[in-house]
Amino acid sequence: MSSSSRLDDPEESFMTEVENFFNTAPPLKDHSVIEEKLKGFIERNSHASENGVSMKRIVCVTSGGTTVPLEQRCVRYIDNFSSGHRGAASTECFLKAGYAVIYLHRRGTCQPYCRSLPDDPLLECFESVNGSSVQVQQAQAEAVRKAIANHHAALQQGLLQMIGVALRDLGSRAMFYLAAAVSDFYVPWESLAEHKIQSSAGPLDMRLAQVPKMLSVLRKDWAPLAFCISFKLETDSHILLEKASTALKKYNMHAVVANELVTRKEEVTVVTTHGKICIRREAGDDVENPLIELLVQKHTAHIEGNKGTMEGQ
């Protein structure tokens, strides 16, 4: 096929855009080490069985913000607001529900079981006793004890394309929960200045290219049987639900979780082809608890629905 006829077809031209995006990006550091670890994790968890039948479900949670470098030897970057609280809280809920979790985040993102730790600088949480041993300050002791206990309880129970493909064999038992705030714009690697941009050159004029949304590729090619949940964030409540419904159809998601920037910790709306369900946080609880409970029920129905297909035979 000639390159001009590829560009005439919107689907072909989108796939070319995706290929270019990956081909022009610098290679993932430690690619093979990460791939090995990932395979090992999936292997161990997909063989966990109940009555001789492999039952374990695996969810990939993407969480937190993403940065856009402005130089190849990066000194400056564009960032976004996301703390990763949603992803961390959701990971705790998925672990409690018996899922194995692949938590995909950048360094500095909020971590599961650490959300309740005090904001004080780390060293202020401890004190030295008799100059030899170290103990947690009384004021922070309860929060630290709780975080450690939750983390240990979870341990006892048990890079998106790579994860998608690696999870393909798990079929409908795999779930993607895409809560990361992925940048919609970036500067292609070949357009980036190699060295630090000099302010002496005057005001900075820069064109950002659009990042191709990978949601449709994930659904169609990387993990077609997996249960896929994406998020929709807006600051304007008037357009939120409509945008979520459009994303549901456009990317063929199983559900889209709609949230508004200022109320995101109190309220979310789960949009599916069957309707919209608003979930509000109960006092003293996280909104992620009822949200994950609902999504786990929907995932169970999805697995049941696939039993009559090729996958279930």
Q: What is the Cα–Cα distance from 265 to 85, expressed in whole angstroms? A: 9
Minimum CB–partner distance for residue 132 and ligand PMT (Å): 41
Q: What is the Cα–Cα distance from 270 to 291, expressed in whole angstroms? A: 8
- Residue number with CB closer to ligand PMT (38 or 268): 268
Minimum CB–partner distance for residue 183 and ligand PMT (Å): 7
Minimum CB–partner distance for residue 202 and ligand PMT (Å): 31
- Residue number with CB closer to ligand PMT (56 or 233): 233
Minimum CB–partner distance for residue 189 and ligand PMT (Å): 16
- Residue number with CB closer to ligand PMT (46 or 63): 63
- Residue number with CB closer to ligand PMT (48 or 213): 213
Minimum CB–partner distance for residue 284 and ligand PMT (Å): 18
- Residue number with CB closer to ligand PMT (58 or 180): 180
- Residue number with CB closer to ligand PMT (46 or 95): 95
Minimum CB–partner distance for residue 238 and ligand PMT (Å): 15
Q: Which residues bind ligand PMT (CB under 6 A)?
A: 62, 64, 82-86, 178-182, 184, 211, 213-215, 230-233, 259, 264
Q: What is the dihedral of CA 136, 141, 147, 150, to 10 degrees?
A: 120
Minimum CB–partner distance for residue 272 and ligand PMT (Å): 15
- Residue number with CB closer to ligand PMT (17 or 282): 17
170 neighbors 58 (Cβ within 8 angstroms): yes
DSSP codes, the chain:
--HHHHHHSHHHHHHHHHHHHHHHSPPPTTHHHHHHHHHHHHHHHHT-EETTEE---EEEEEESB--EESBSS-S-EE-----SHHHHHHHHHHHHTT-EEEEEE-TTS--TT-TTS-SS-GGGGEEEETTTEEEE-HHHHHHHHHHHHHHHHHHH---THHHHHHTGGGGGGEEEEE-SB--SEE--GGGSBSSPPPGGG-S----PEEPPP-HHHIIIII-TTSEEEEEEEES-HHHHHHHHHHHHHHTT-SEEEEEETTTTTTEEEEEETTEEEEEEPPTTS-THHHHHHHHHHHHHHHHHHHTTSGGG-
- Residue number with CB closer to ligand PMT (154 or 211): 211
Q: Which residues contact 33 (CB under 8 A, 6 or more apart)?
A: none
Minimum CB–partner distance for residue 179 and ligand PMT (Å): 5
